[in-house]
Amino acid sequence: MASTNFRPLHDRVVVKRVESEEKTKGGIIIPDTAKEKPAEGEVIAVGPGARDDAGKVVALDVKVGDRILFGKWSGTEVKIDGQDLLIMKEADIMGIIG
């Protein structure tokens, strides 16, 4: 994201989907039309955090470079600098891998 002037606000994160495998464990090749969009991605930008009831900014638990799992219908798909990305709230993230 260093080449982009886009910065998410509040508790939002920008995620790049991780490409899914093109073969099954049994060696069957899956065509592009039959693939599901992966629910795994890499965080490439994070907002400063949400505000609590007292007005204090609460930092996010995820950081740039984290590999995450998120819900199938989470986030909003956008295209920034020719890349297909997702913008979602931190609450849509199920967990960090590794």
Any idea how long the chain is? Answer: 98
CA dihedral 50, 51, 52, 56 (to 10 degrees): 130
Q: 27-80: per-residue pLDDT in tens?
A: 666 665 545 566 899 999 999 998 989 989 999 999 999 999 998 888 999 998
> What does the domain layout of the chain look like in residue ranges?
12-97
The pTM of the full predicted model, rounded to 2 decimals, is 0.75
Q: 12-29: per-residue pLDDT in tens?
A: 999 998 875 555 556 666
Q: Which CATH superfamily is domain 12-97 in?
A: GroES chaperonin (2.30.33.40)
